[in-house]
Structures are given as structure tokens and as C-alpha cells.
Amino acid sequence: MTMKKIPSWFFFVKEYAVAHKTVAAIGALVVLYAGYHAYSIITAPSTAPRYVTTTVSTSTVVAFIDETGQVSASSNIDVQSKSSGEILSMPVTAGQHVDAGAALAYLDPTTAEQNVSSARQALELAQIALAKLQEPATDSALTAAENAVAAAQANLVNAHETGYNDVSSSFLDLPNAITSLNSVLHGNTVPGRTNQQNESAYSDMIVSYDSGVVQYETIAENAYQAAYAAYTQTLSDFKSTPRDADDAKMEALITESYQTAALISDALKASTNFLNFVNTTLSNHQLTLPSTLAAHISSLTGYTTTTNGHVAALSSDAASVTSSERSLAAAKASLAELQAGADPLDIQSSQLSVQMKQDALSVAEQDLADTVVRAPFSGTVAKLDVQQYQTIGSGTAIATMVSDNQSVAVSVNEVDAAKLKVGQKATLAFDALPGISIAGTVSSVNTIGTVSSGVVSYGAVITFDTPNPSVKPGMSATANIVIGTETGLLVPQSAVKTSGGQKYVEVFNPPLAGSTSSAGAVSGTAPERITVVTGLSDDTNIVIENGLAAGAQVVERTIAGAAAAPTSAAQSTSIFGAGRGGIGGGARVLTP
């Protein structure tokens, strides 16, 4: 057998260990401790948290509050009329037992019936008006509206055509009128004064007799300049506007031509007034009249008549165009309304009117119903407080009744009182009658609380739905009152947390495998926070109204991870402490 050669370092280590036994022992212990420590780390329990989740599903939450109280004794109540009028009949007598809703008195219903009839008619009219608004336009109505648009369009075209013709006609005369006016004022034809323009010559003849002539001359000249400027511009526009120009250009030309004709007419009138003043002044002073004066006045008068005719025609054209435009716009608007249907605001207003009429009818019907005074509960009529044919007012006591109803009076703290409402259902249990459970209804809740030792409480009454002779006044009772129900996505109450005033849940997406068991599961990633809006809670589960979808995996609770075993100071620094049963004191490394 071949023997393996032993390495030389082995003999060196052996000799060193024999020579230095203490150091070798310490080294061996250090190696053993390191191995133990590594093993402890590998096999130590995990410190990661474990998540227990639940799946979101749809269900219904029924919220209750439990209150204690005592069974109340029967009470006497004055039954009052909610209406006024004459009592026609009273079908009950004192001592008679009646059921809830039985008639105690009949009041004259005539006025109330008339009010109901009027309210019903008003409602029908409002409903008809709404129905008309909501009806689609008929074919005949649409056709009529389309025809109206076509007719209005044709009228506008005719108005434009007539206006353009009148503009063309006016420019056969207006050039002569403006030329004649210029000649009369600015020509040099006054005998003996041909070195002056006519207007200056005429003015100078009489200025020494009446200085007012200067004002007439100024007005005439200014009117001419305004008319001439307008005429020049309008003539240019007329030349550049064809007969088939668009509506806007045609309308502008007609209006502009009318205004220019009016300015020329005004200028002719002002110049005529100036010459007439000159003529009158000369005549009054028995001065010789220039031979040209009468001819000038006659010429201006003739052109004034002609120009005024054009002013009237163009004025009518402008009005006709404006009227035709408005008619066309109205026809188009009517057609558009028919095509689009009723305005949403009109429908909304009509719907509101219907609702108001419905409310008014409901009030009238209730007023009519109130003309019959009825027993509010079953019981005995102890006495009658009014007589037949007596006229009473609203609030008058009709009868005093002793109630058959049984009820439980409870005292509720201010937090629970805010949740109580008349009409809520309850289940009543009794300490003295363990086998009896009775359904009841909250019949009243006090609006004014009482304070005792700094605690505010409110009284409430729960009336038995069905009387039970076994239940006696004064018995202790527990009322389980249903304050609300809501159907929606349910999660455990513990799943909902709050941060910064917002509620949230933690969700794993994708789902965390194995987390639905009571032991939960460890996740390598933290769950996602989802902000939610919560609804009703029964202190175990709560409805999520917004933020989650059915099937989501929500963290119900988190199990904290197991902590590592505590380590003493000696254990953390040395394996030789007393805790390990080793050599007391510190260890030190020895050297040869």
C-alpha cells in the first residue's frame, strides 16, 4: 500500500501546538464559536411581518345601537284638529274604544275640495306645457319654418334689388344737383361782382344791412363741403359695387347712398335759405336785386325737390332691407329651434313648474285629508271636547284618548341620539320575560337634551308594533335599534386605517399567496396604500363606497415578526463569560 506523504506544515503546527498549548486551545474555541454563530444566524426565526388578508366582496351591513329603558304606562293624549271649519259630524262617543285611524270628527271639506281641484288643474296645465316642450317638431311645422326662411330670403333679395335700382336712379340726378350747388355758391356770375364767388358777392351786398348773412353763408358752405365729401365717396363705392354684390356690401351701399342724398338735400336747403335771406334783405331795403339771384333760387329749389324724392326712396329701401334682415334672422332662428328641439333651460323651468304644482297638490290633498280628524292610535275615547256644528280653528282639541299602545322610554347619549330617527325599527327584549321578543318602532326623539353630571342625554320612545299583555309597565327592557343598512363592498373594520385625515386600506396586487389563513404570509414587498371613502359600519365590518373593486385583496391585520433571542454583553463579546459556563474573566491572546 502506498503511503501519502504528510506535508511539512503539519509537523510545524503539531510542534507549535505542543509547545503552546494555551494558545492552541483558545484558537480552537474561537473556531467553534464562529461556526456556532453562523449556524444561529442561518437557523434563526425570520423577523419579517406576516400579513393576513381578506378578499373584498359585496354584502350588506346592518348597524344597530342597544339602549336600555323601561316600559311606559298608558298615556292620555289630546287629539287636535289640523284643519279649521264647521264640524259636520262626530261618529264616536265618550268611553268608546277605537282603532288607530278611526274618524273622530268630520269638518266641512268644501273649501279644501275646491283647493284640491284647482291644484289638480294647475298641475295638468303644467304637465301639458312640459309635454308640448318635449314634443319633437312635426314635418308640417318644419316645412312651414323652412318656407318662412325661403320667403324671408326672397324678400331680402327683392329689397336689395329695389335698393340698388334706387341708388342707380339717384346717381342720375345727384351729380347734377351737387354740380349746380357748386356753381351757385362758387361761380362768378353775379353782375358787377364777377371777381367774387357768388356766395361772397351775395353776402357782401347786404352785410352792412344785416350781419346775420355771414352765419347763413357759413352754414351753406359747411353743408356743401359735407355733402360734396359724402357724394365723392359714395359715387366711388357705387362704381365699385356690382349688382350681384354680397348682402353686406349691398346693404352698406344702400345705407350710404341714403345718407349722402340726405346730406345733399340739407346742403340745397341751407343754400336756398342763404339766398332767400339775401333776397328778403335786398327787398326790404328796396335795393336792386341781381338778375342771377332768382335763377339761382329756382335752380336750387328744383334740385331740392328731386333730391328729396331720392331721399324718401332710399330711406324706404334702407328700412326695407333692415326689416327683411330681421325677418330672415327670426325665420332662421325659428327653424333652428324646431330642428334642435326645446331649450334645455326651458324644459328645466317647465319641469320645476310641474314639481311645484305637484307639491301644491300634495299640500291641498293633505289639507283635505285633515278635515277628517282621526285617532292617532288605538285606544279609548275618554271624553269629547267639542260638539257637532261647532266651528273650530286649527289646533283645537277634539277628544282626549287613552292609548292602548305600549312603549319603552329610553335615555340615549348624545352620540347615539344623533343616529336616531322616528320610524326606525327595533327589537325589544325584557329582563323579566326572557322568552319574549317584540318588534317596535321609534315613535319620538326629544330635540332637547338633559344634562346630568356633565353628561348630555336625550329621551326617546319606542312603541310596540303589537301590544303584548305579558309586558307590564315599569319592566326593564333592552332595545336593539336598527339605525341603518347599506349594501356595498365590505371589509373588516380593522382593515381601514387613517393618516392625515384620509382613510386608506393596504392592498396586495397581485394577491399574496397563503395570506388568507390566520397565520398570514410574508411578503417581499410592502402592500400598496389605497385611499377609500367609507360608508356604514356595524363595528365589525365597514362599507367601502369608493376606492376599491370587488375581488381586491386587502390586509386585514399585520402580525409582527418574531424578534431574535436576546444576547448578553458577555455573549456578544466573548464565549468565555459566565453565561456560557466558561472560564471567568476576559481572555487575552498569548504569544510564544
Task: Determine the average pLDDT of the residues in 342-360.
Answer: 90
- Using alpha carbons, list the distances in angstroms from residue 447 to 44, 415, 457: 63, 13, 10
**Residues 158, 120 share a domain:** no
Domain that holds residue 25: 1-44+564-592
Task: Give the CA count within 13 Å in the CB-facing half-sphere of 252.
Answer: 12
**Residues 129, 37 share a domain:** no
Whether 516 shows a pLDDT value over 60: the answer reads yes
Q: How far apart are CA 437 and CA 150, in angstroms?
A: 81
What's the CA dihedral at 576, 582, 586, 590 to 10 degrees? Answer: -90
Q: How far apart are CA 472 and CA 158, in angstroms?
A: 98
Which one, of 124, 129, 148, lies nearest residue 338 by Cα?
Answer: 148
Predicted confidence band of residue 274 (pLDDT cuts 50, 70, 90): very high
Domain final residue pick, 354, 369, 384: 369
**Residues 359, 230 share a domain:** no
Q: How far apart are CA 274 and CA 268, in angstroms?
A: 10
Residue 420 belongs to some domain of the structure: no
- Residues with Cβ within 8 Å of 485's Cβ and at least 6 positions away in sequence, in order, are 60, 61, 62, 63, 536
The DSSP call for residue 99 is -
Is the CB of residue 227 less than 8 Å from the CB of residue 263? yes
The CA radius of gyration of the chain, in Å to the nearest whole number, is 55
Which one, of 312, 313, 46, 344, lies nearest residue 164 by Cα?
Answer: 313
Predicted confidence band of residue 532 (pLDDT cuts 50, 70, 90): very high
The SS3 of residue 520 is coil
User: Which long-range CB contacts under 8 A does 187-196 form with residues at least 24 apart?
Assistant: 189/292, 190/290, 190/292, 191/290, 191/291, 191/292, 192/290
Q: How far apart are CA 555 and CA 121, in angstroms?
A: 61
pLDDT digits (tens, 9 = 90+) for 479-505: 989 988 889 898 998 989 998 888 999
Q: What is the structure's pLDDT at 3?
A: 47
Q: What is the structure's pLDDT at 1?
A: 43
Q: How far apart are CA 256 and CA 234, in angstroms?
A: 7
Residue 264 belongs to some domain of the structure: yes
**Residues 362, 259 share a domain:** no
Task: Determine the average pLDDT of the residues in 241-269.
Answer: 93
Output the nine-digit C-alpha cell for 292.
342771377
Is the CB of residue 496 less than 8 Å from the CB of residue 450? no
Q: Residue 581: left if φ>0, alpha if ψ -120 to 50, beta else—which one?
A: left
Q: Among residues of the chain, what percentage have pLDDT more than 70?
A: 86
Q: How far apart are CA 520 and CA 560, in angstroms?
A: 11
**Residues 313, 365 share a domain:** no
Lowest mean pLDDT among 460-469, 502-511, 562-571: 562-571
Residue 432 belongs to some domain of the structure: no
pLDDT digits (tens, 9 = 90+) for 55-67: 898 999 888 888 8
Q: What is the structure's pLDDT at 37?
A: 44
Say if residue 177 is exposed, middle or buried (CB neighbours under 10 Å; 0-12, 13-18, 19+). Answer: buried
Residue 535 belongs to some domain of the structure: no
Q: 344-369 vs 110-134: helix axis angle to the nearest 10?
A: 160
Predicted confidence band of residue 429 (pLDDT cuts 50, 70, 90): very high
**Residues 192, 274 share a domain:** yes
Q: How far apart are CA 75 and CA 409, in angstroms?
A: 12
Which one, of 437, 459, 461, lies nearest residue 450 by Cα?
Answer: 459
pLDDT digits (tens, 9 = 90+) for 71-91: 876 667 889 999 999 999 999
Is the CB of residue 244 less than 8 Å from the CB of residue 160? no
Task: Determine the average pLDDT of the residues in 140-149.
Answer: 88
Predicted confidence band of residue 23 (pLDDT cuts 50, 70, 90): low
Q: What is the structure's pLDDT at 579?
A: 40
**Residues 182, 33 share a domain:** no
**Residues 163, 272 share a domain:** yes
Average pLDDT, the chain: 85
- Using alpha carbons, list the distances in angstroms from residue 103 to 34, 85, 94, 97, 98: 99, 16, 14, 12, 9
Whether 123 shows a pLDDT value over 90: the answer reads yes
Lowest mean pLDDT among 85-89, 99-103, 546-550: 546-550
**Residues 212, 193 share a domain:** yes
Say if residue 338 is exposed, middle or buried (CB neighbours under 10 Å; 0-12, 13-18, 19+). Answer: middle
Q: How far apart are CA 61 and CA 535, in angstroms?
A: 10
Predicted confidence band of residue 378 (pLDDT cuts 50, 70, 90): confident
Q: How far apart are CA 241 and CA 523, in angstroms?
A: 86
**Residues 230, 167 share a domain:** yes
Q: How far apart are the first and last CA of the chain?
A: 40
Q: Among residues of the chain, what percentage have pLDDT more than 90?
A: 52
Q: How far apart are CA 248 and CA 241, in angstroms?
A: 11
**Residues 208, 233 share a domain:** yes
Whether 30 shows a pLDDT value over 80: the answer reads no
**Residues 278, 309 share a domain:** yes
Task: Output the domain CATH number for residue 247.
Answer: 1.20.140
Whether 222 shows a pLDDT value over 90: the answer reads yes
Q: What is the structure's pLDDT at 6?
A: 55
Domain count, the chain: 3
Q: What is the 3-state secondary structure (H, E, C) of 231-267?
A: HHHHHHHHHHCCCCCCHHHHHHHHHHHHHHHHHHHHH
In whole angstroms, what separates CA 445 from the centre of its chain? 34
Task: Determine the average pLDDT of the residues in 411-420.
Answer: 86
Residue 177 belongs to some domain of the structure: yes
Predicted confidence band of residue 565 (pLDDT cuts 50, 70, 90): very low
For residue 68, what are the β-bridge partners?
Answer: 478
Whether 426 shows a pLDDT value over 70: the answer reads yes
Is the CB of residue 188 less than 8 Å from the CB of residue 197? yes
For residue 459, what are the β-bridge partners?
Answer: 411
Predicted confidence band of residue 22 (pLDDT cuts 50, 70, 90): low
Output the nine-digit C-alpha cell for 370.
285633515
Q: What is the structure's pLDDT at 35?
A: 58
Residue 174 belongs to some domain of the structure: yes
Q: How far apart are CA 336 and CA 138, in angstroms?
A: 14
Give the count of beta carbons closer than 10 Å to the beta carbon of residue 410. Answer: 25
For residue 40, what are the β-bridge partners?
Answer: none
Q: What is the 3-state secondary structure (H, E, C) of 155-193?
A: HHHHHHHHHHHHHHHHHHHHHHHHHHHHHHHHCCCCCCC
* Percent of the chain as helix, strand, coil, to the nearest 5: 45, 25, 30
Is the CB of residue 464 less than 8 Å from the CB of residue 440? yes
Residue 85 belongs to some domain of the structure: no
Residue 295 belongs to some domain of the structure: yes
pLDDT digits (tens, 9 = 90+) for 164-200: 999 999 999 999 999 999 999 999 999 999 999 999 9
Q: How far apart are CA 21 and CA 8, in angstroms?
A: 20
